Homo-oligomer: A and B are copies of this chain.
């Protein structure tokens, strides 16, 4: 009995379409073996669409996307500094709009160093952790404002909003995840000594939920100290739970130490399945190398793995992971085209 999965595909800008083409190839090869039929709808969204029509994501687009069961997204964002595109309009109007509207309160970003991959760290050790980044609150809420803009008296504010509801649900998810893993360790990362209101909320909720998970050991690091351990002893981490902005920063750093942003996959998860979850590489649209088949599609392909895992297809996900691992371990130093990497991984899967 095959199951049909309705997938919204948003290739986006820059290298997005190139890496998504490879991710879709991989999905198409793996799905049948899992008795899965993927019904894809393509959405043309991003900077080009904005430049052509002036809109970023209409209510109709959003409704149409929300009627799918999952989303695969490449990357969005125009050329930095393009005078026709106000700073962040695509990122906020499209990417963050989807995360917020579809209540993606868990932004899941696993980090491991695949065998054969060179870390910039001399001795990274045995790195295998997951950052559970809150996705719908914090300084990302867009509740800032400016007064007297453009004058010497300008005041520009940004508000970080944190709620018990929002923090508790992501903390619970993180504990649940930690309890399932071998080491059962959870680290809260925040800046409780400065951001005392938000920090106190996060700390109290972690303490309260910890009481329900006696098998999980819990510690705490300030965000600044956490970045130190990311380069001196990343192997110490198992599950990290943190706020939206700290999670953004830590996961780029995590990608860097584990072999680069070209390998970092992520899932924007709505654990209740009230809305479709969204899977995307952590990297951006990299307009400087777009259209040249220079981008590494591995992160997009691994994001397909996270998608399959999310729907319970653990075996299919593991096959993708293994194919990627083999490909990585046999990569020479000669650069390959985006499609060559995709083809090589597909070949290992067939």
Residues of chain A touching chain B, judged by Cβ–Cβ distance below 8 Å, are 77, 80, 87-88, 91-92, 96, 119-123, 139-140, 142, 144-146, 149-165, 168, 191-201, 203-204, 220, 223-225, 227-228, 230-232, 245, 248-249, 251-253, 255-257, 260-261
CB of B155 within 8 A of CB of A161, answer: yes
- A155 to B162, Cβ gap below 8 A? yes
Nearest opposing residue in chain B for A256, CB measure? B228
Do B92 and A196 have beta carbons less than 8 Å apart? yes
**Copies of this chain per assembly:** 2
For the A-B complex with A91-B193, A191-B245 known, give 9 more contacts whose Cβ atoms are closer than 8 Å: A80-B220, A87-B193, A120-B122, A155-B162, A155-B163, A158-B162, A158-B195, A158-B197, A224-B253
Question: Can you list 5 A-B pairs, Cβ within 8 angstroms, ordered by A?
Answer: A152-B165, A153-B165, A157-B160, A194-B245, A249-B249
Contact A146 B224 (CB under 8 A): no
Q: Which 5 A-B pairs have the closest CB atoms?
A: A88-B193, A224-B252, A154-B164, A144-B197, A156-B197
Across the interface, name the chain B residue whose C-beta is closest to A161. Answer: B157
Q: Choose among A149, A192, A195 the residue with the greatest number of B CB atoms under 10 Å from its CB.
A: A195
- Are B144 and A164 interface neighbours, CB within 8 A? no
Measured between alpha carbons, how far is A308 from B183 in the docked complex, in Å?
A: 49
> Does B160 lie within 8 Å of A164, measured CB to CB?
no
A204 partner residues in chain B, CB cutoff 8 A: 150
The distance from the CB of A124 to the nearest CB of chain B, in whole angstroms, is 9
Which residue in B87, B159, B198, B228 is a CB contact (below 8 Å) of A200? B87
Q: Output the nearest chain B residue to A162 by Cβ-Cβ distance.
A: B156
A145 to B199, CA, bound (A): 11
How far is it, in angstroms, between the C-alpha of A310 and the C-alpha of B88 when the chains are bound?
39
Contact in complex: B227, A77 (CB < 8 Å): no
CB < 8 Å neighbour of A256 from B140, B152, B156, B232: B232
Minimum distance in angstroms from A37 CB to a CB of chain B: 37
Q: How far is the CB of A244 from chain B (nearest CB, A)?
A: 9
Q: How far is the CA of A77 from the CA of B194 in the complex (A)?
A: 12
Within the complex, what minimum Cβ distance (angstroms) separates A232 from chain B?
5
**Chain B residues with CB below 8 A from A225, complex form:** 252
Query: Considering the chains assembled together, what is the distance between the CA atoms of A147 and B127 in angstroms?
Result: 39
With a cutoff of 8 Å between Cβ atoms, the chain B residues found around residue A198 in the complex are 144, 156-158
